Amino acid sequence: MEIGIGLPGHVTGVEGHTLAAWARRAEERKFASLIASDRLAWSTPEPLITLAAAAGATGGIRLVTSVLIAPLHTNPALFAKAAATLDRIAGPGRLHLGVAPGAREDDYRASGLDFTARGRALDLLVERVAAIWRGEQEVGPAPVTPGGPA
């Protein structure tokens, strides 16, 4: 059995050094993964940046977004670059992207995006990012994990 642990992103006022220490302790205690969640309308830190900090503080624990509201990332090339950069920082096989269209309208209101188009936006983002990671569009860096993060 593998057990992951969420980073304390929903706790108001959590600072970088606290997240890094939490990540190190989770790895020392043999948790399988560190998990960062995503909400735009809450005070939750941005998950890719949070996991980059965790990657720098740890050596091998899996890094997971649960769940990244992917349609809020409206530029697929920029999202592909950000995720590939994190993949390179973390090392092969560590980054696992859990994505979803999001179920809360307040996140879409805060972003100025159409809540009703989120499913189509997710499909498009996933298709474009996969194409970029296959080398079909010149956006770098390439992920270090073959085919891109899981």
Q: What is the pLDDT of residue 21?
A: 94
* Region of residue 112 (phi > 0: left; psi between -120 and 50: alpha; otherwise: beta): left
Question: Residue 115 in contact with residue 108, Cβ under 8 Å?
Answer: yes
H helix or E strand, kind and range, residue 68 = strand 62-69
Closest CA to 90 of 64, 60, 68, 65: 60
In the chain (150 residues long), the average pLDDT of successive 10-residue segments reads 89 83 96 94 90 96 95 95 97 97 95 96 96 93 93
Q: Which residues have CB under 8 Å from 109's CB, separation 6+? A: 41, 115
Q: Are strands 4-6 and 62-69 parallel, antiparallel or unpaired?
A: unpaired
Predicted model pTM: 0.92
CATH of domain 4-133: 3.20.20.30
pLDDT of residue 1: 93
Q: Would you call 35 helix, strand, or coil by DSSP?
A: strand
Q: Where are the domains of the chain?
A: 4-133
